[in-house]
Structures are given as structure tokens and as C-alpha cells.
């Protein structure tokens, strides 16, 4: 077997991937940041329909149901939130009703009409053709990457990876960038760092090697390969890469062995992902990590058809939202139980929202601005952030589609959202513009949803 084939098989078997091997040989160093903090990003793949996530239940509900008479949620089914937000009384999709206690307790907030922006933009500028738009707007892969900080083909890194490198230029952080069950890891892709790719169902073995048994013959062989020395730069780099993969695979196996399965999580895919993340958080904090960013991608929210479907394949939006709500509640409970609730924050994104009007197959089509969630004890919760809630009138003041389909231009930039989290993690404000270049176009750099 040639070395390329061997390493590829190792990557698959161990559930690990290295964006670059350069930091496998990182120098030992200390960083001025103290304590432990982690950010978890859950990306709802396909473009979740925010118009059916948060719905006004006052007079504006009439505009909503007029715009989508067949797929709109029934008013008496919506789960009402106490109080008034942005001039409206609001209800959540009933599939999300499990989140209401988190919202009321101040551990959950929503970011109204959020998405990628190059600069502050109005619907009028979009309709006039004078707006500077994000690249490949309305395209799934490019908008997913853009939300996560993609800088274009010349620099495919994301804002999480760049921020970690700015906070830790000498590479002293332990395991700062992780991707869990995701094929799209732009968020945690740095310019010179590795990514640890973890699985919801970690294995203790790579082939016939038992990572937890130092007496296993195949484990000993792999350990010996990880210590291979060579004056040849290619061979030496290969050995460093192998060592990093082997060590990270052992860490993931140890996390699964040492940290008990948390209680309360269901069997859905997103529940299993977040259950594993809760175990990894405990393990890595105990083993010396100080700052971590986790990237998760989940769901099939491209609901051009069957948006209300609950039994078909693929599932409609509501069943998936119910799985998400259950998983988020269980994750917050796990953080409370382990005493990490003040140290972990969570963000729920999607690449774009969907049209207010209906698609022909009882669904909705690609649009732009969307509603996101932020969660954790560090969040200033029980609020809906933004200057206004979009008018749910086709062709109304907030509609940026020339055929009046209901496209919202984001009022909150994804970069402003990132700036809140990164400041909380410890990135100096002087470094924000290098990590988030478009932020220079905004007079207000953050949204303000994080506690100090």
C-alpha cells in the first residue's frame, strides 16, 4: 500500500482531517487569555425558512397568511412569546415551542433578518441595481461559505479559523478548531491551522489498531510511525502530519471513553451531534484547551416543496425544527449539569432565508435575509435583535425582489454577529477588521447580544 492510500484510509477510519500540517509541530507557548470558552455553530443546511420560524400574531399575521395562504402556519397553532418585540407580539413555529422556556429565562435570543452583507444595503438599492451584493447570492455552497467568512478562491478560510490564528499566532491553543459530522468546514478553516474532524459515533480503533491499548501491536506500529525522523522535508512533514492525526484520534477515543454519554438527548442526527460535542467540551477543557470553535452542519431545509410535510422523505421543515429544538434544550441542560454553561455559546445559522410567497410545490424558494438564534448563559437573551421586523407584504417597503416575492435585505450582517462572539472569545477589537474585512464598512461593529 502506498503512503497516500494509507493516510487517506487513516483519515476515514479515524474520522480526522487536517486542513494543513503546519501546526502539528506548533511551538509550546502560553497565551494571555485565561479560562475556557467555546463557540458552537450549528448551520441549518439548505436555507431554513425564517418566515415560518418567527411569525407576528398581531395584525401583521394577516399580511403573512395572505402572502402564503397554503403553506402558512395557522395562527392558533403558533406558540406565543410573552411581551412585545420590535413593535409586534410574536409566536414561534409550534415545532419550536420547547425553546420558549430557554427564551423566557434569558438563555436564548433571535437575530431578526440576518445574513451576509458587503456593506449596509437597502431594498431600494437592490431594486435599482446599485447595491454591492455578496458573491453568488442565493447559491447554497457559496452562501454557506460566505456566512462562515469565506474570502474567495484566493483565501478559502473562515472567520473562526482566522480569529483563532489572530488570538494565538504561535499555535499554543490545544485543539481549537473542530468540525463535527460536516462536509462544509469553512468556519473553522484557518490559513495555516489544522482541523479536527470528529464523528457523532467515535471509534476507538483505526483498522486493527486499538487507540486505547498501548500494548496492541498495530497501535505500537502507528505510534512508531508517528515518531519517524528524516532529514528529507517531505518525509519529515509526512511524519508530523501522521503524528497529529494519530494523537487527535487518540484524544477523540479518550473523550468517548472518559466522558459519560449525557442524559436527555434523543436519537435524531442533530441530537447525536450535540451530545458528542458536550462530551468533547468536557474532555478538552479538562485536558488543557482554552479556546475552541466547533462547526456543525445539519438538515435538509431546501423546502421548495412539501414545506409542512412531516412524514415524507425528505422531511419538511417542521419535523426538522422539532428535532433541533429538542437537541438545543438537551445541550443547554448538559452544559448546566457539567458546570460549563457560562463558558459555551451557541449560534444557529442558515445560508439564506426563503421567499415570503409560495413556491408551486407548497414550499418556498431561495431568498436572502433570515432569522438566526443565539443561545447560552453568556447571551443577553429574551430579546429579538434588530431595528425592525420586516413588513410581510409582497412588494412592500422591505421587499427587494423585482417581481414582489418577498426577499429581505439583511439588517444585521453575519460579520457583525461574528464580531460579538469573537470579542467574547477574546479577540482584540483591533483585530476585528483583519478577521472580518467587510466589517470596516459598518459604523456599528457588533450587535450587542453578548454579556461582558
Per-residue pLDDT of the chain (452 residues; tens, 9 = 90+): 444 444 444 444 444 433 333 333 333 334 579 999 999 999 999 999 999 999 999 999 999 999 999 999 999 999 999 999 999 999 999 999 999 999 999 999 999 999 999 999 999 999 999 999 999 999 999 999 999 999 888 899 999 999 999 999 999 999 999 999 877 899 999 999 999 999 998 888 888 999 999 999 999 988 888 888 878 888 888 888 888 888 899 999 999 999 999 999 999 999 999 999 999 999 999 999 999 999 999 999 999 998 987 666 567 899 999 999 999 999 999 999 999 999 999 999 999 999 999 999 899 999 999 999 999 999 999 999 999 999 999 999 999 999 999 999 999 999 999 999 999 999 999 999 999 999 999 999 999 999 97
Element (H, E) at 7: helix 3-14
Q: Which residue has the cell 426563503?
A: 354
Three cell numbers, residue 389: 421586523
Question: Does residue 420 form part of some domain?
Answer: yes
Residue 234's pLDDT is 85
pLDDT at 243: 86
Residue 119 lies in a domain: yes
Chain mean position to CA 248: 22
CA 159 to chain centre: 12
Q: Which of 176, 159, 142 is nearest to 418 (CA)?
A: 159
Other beta carbons within 10 angstroms of residue 112's beta carbon come to 26
Please report whether residue 343 resides in a domain. Answer: yes
What phi and psi, each to the nearest 5 degrees, are found at residue 367?
-140, -130
Q: How far is CA 241 from the centre of its chain?
A: 27
C-alpha cell belonging to residue 151 = 474570502
- What was the pLDDT predicted at 311? 61
Which of 367, 447, 352, 359 lies closest to 406 in space, CA to CA?
367
Residue 351 lies in a domain: yes
H helix intervals, 35-121: 60-67, 100-104
Q: Is residue 450 part of a domain?
A: no
Q: For residues 444 and 452, give the distance between their C-alpha atoms in angstroms, rounded to a whole number.
A: 17
**pTM of structure:** 0.92
Residues near 409 by Cβ (< 8 Å), separated by ≥ 6?
113, 121, 122, 123, 126, 131, 368, 369, 398, 400
Cα–Cα dist 123/132, whole Å? 12
Q: Distance between CA atoms of 410 and 123, rounded to whole angstroms?
A: 9
Q: 417 lies in a domain? A: yes
Q: What is the CA radius of gyration of the chain?
A: 23
pLDDT at 313: 55
CA atoms of 142 and 53, how far apart (whole Å): 23
The single residue listed with the C-alpha cell 482584540 is 428
Tell me how long the chain is: 452
Residue 359 CA to chain centroid, in angstroms?
27
How many domains does the chain divide into?
1
Bridge-based pairing of strands 344-350 and 37-44 is parallel
Q: Under a CB-based contact definition with an 8 Å cutoff, are residues 294 and 274 in contact?
A: no
- Is residue 281 situated within a structural domain? yes
Answer yes or no: is 429 within a domain: yes
Cell of 27: 511551538
* Spatial distance between the Cα atoms of 176 and 26, rounded to a whole number of angstroms: 13
> Do residues 95 and 322 lie in contact, with contact meaning Cβ atoms separated by under 8 Å?
yes
> Residue 151 belongs to what domain range?
3-25+38-441
Burial of 309 (0-12, 13-18, 19+ CB in 10 A): middle
Euclidean distance between CA atoms 60 and 63, whole angstroms: 5
SS3 content of the chain, % helix, strand, coil (to 5): 35, 15, 45
Which pLDDT value is given to residue 314? 62
Amino acid at each position: 500500500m502506498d503512503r497516500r492510500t494509507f493516510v487517506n484510509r487513516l483519515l476515514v477510519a479515524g474520522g480526522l482531517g487536517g486542513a494543513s500540517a503546519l501546526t502539528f509541530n506548533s511551538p509550546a507557548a502560553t497565551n494571555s487569555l485565561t479560562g475556557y470558552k467555546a463557540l458552537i455553530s450549528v448551520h441549518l443546511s439548505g436555507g431554513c425558512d425564517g418566515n415560518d420560524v418567527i411569525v407576528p400574531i398581531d395584525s401583521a399575521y394577516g399580511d403573512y397568511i395572505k402572502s402564503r395562504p397554503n403553506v402558512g402556519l395557522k395562527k392558533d397553532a403558533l406558540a406565543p412569546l410573552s411581551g412585545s418585540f420590535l413593535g409586534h407580539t410574536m409566536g414561534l413555529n409550534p415545532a419550536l415551542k420547547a425553546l420558549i422556556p430557554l427564551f423566557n429565562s434569558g438563555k436564548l435570543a433571535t437575530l431578526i433578518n440576518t445574513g451576509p452583507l458587503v456593506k449596509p444595503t437597502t431594498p431600494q438599492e437592490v431594486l435599482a441595481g446599485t447595491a454591492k451584493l455578496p458573491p453568488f447570492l442565493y447559491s447554497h455552497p457559496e452562501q454557506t461559505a460566505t456566512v462562515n467568512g469565506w474570502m474567495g478562491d484566493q483565501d478559502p478560510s473562515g472567520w473562526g479559523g482566522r480569529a483563532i490564528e489572530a488570538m494565538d499566532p504561535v499555535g499554543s491553543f490545544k485543539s481549537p478548531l473542530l468540525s463535527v459530522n460536516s462536509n462544509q468546514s469553512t468556519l473553522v478553516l484557518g490559513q495555516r491551522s489544522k482541523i479536527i474532524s470528529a464523528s457523532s459515533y467515535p471509534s476507538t480503533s483505526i483498522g486493527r489498531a486499538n487507540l486505547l491499548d498501548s500494548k496492541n501491536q498495530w497501535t505500537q506500529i502507528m505510534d512508531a510511525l508517528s515518531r519517524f525522523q528524516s532529514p528529507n522535508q517531505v518525509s519529515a512533514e509526512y511524519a508530523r502530519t501522521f503524528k497529529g492525526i494519530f494523537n487527535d484520534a487518540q484524544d477523540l477515543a479518550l473523550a468517548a471513553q472518559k466522558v459519560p454519554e449525557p442524559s436527555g438527548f434523543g436519537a435524531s442526527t442533530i441530537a447525536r451531534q450535540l451530545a458528542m460535542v458536550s462530551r468533547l467540551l468536557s474532555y478538552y477543557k479538562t485536558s488543557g484547551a482554552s479556546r475552541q470553535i466547533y462547526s456543525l452542519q445539519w438538515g435538509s431545509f431546501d423546502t421548495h416543496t412539501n414545506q409542512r410535510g412531516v412524514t415524507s422523505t425528505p422531511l419538511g421543515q417542521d419535523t426538522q425544527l422539532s428535532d433541533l429544538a429538542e437537541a438545543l434544550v438537551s445541550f443547554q441542560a448538559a452544559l448546566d449539569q457539567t458546570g460549563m454553561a457560562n463558558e459555551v455559546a451557541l449560534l444557529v445559522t442558515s445560508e439564506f432565508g426563503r421567499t415570503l410567497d409560495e413556491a408551486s410545490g407548497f414550499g418556498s424558494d431561495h431568498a436572502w435575509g433570515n432569522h438566526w438564534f443565539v443561545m447560552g448563559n453568556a447571551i443577553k437573551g429574551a430579546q429579538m435583535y434588530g431595528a425592525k421586523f420586516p413588513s410581510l407584504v409582497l412588494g412592500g417597503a422591505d421587499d427587494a425582489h423585482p417581481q414582489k416575492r418577498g426577499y429581505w435585505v439583511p439588517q444585521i450582517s453575519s460579520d457583525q454577529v461574528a464580531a460579538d462572539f469573537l470579542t467574547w472569545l477574546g479577540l482584540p477589537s483591533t483585530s476585528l477588521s483583519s478577521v472580518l474585512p467587510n466589517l470596516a464598512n459598518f459604523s456599528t461593529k457588533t450587535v450587542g447580544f453578548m454579556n461582558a
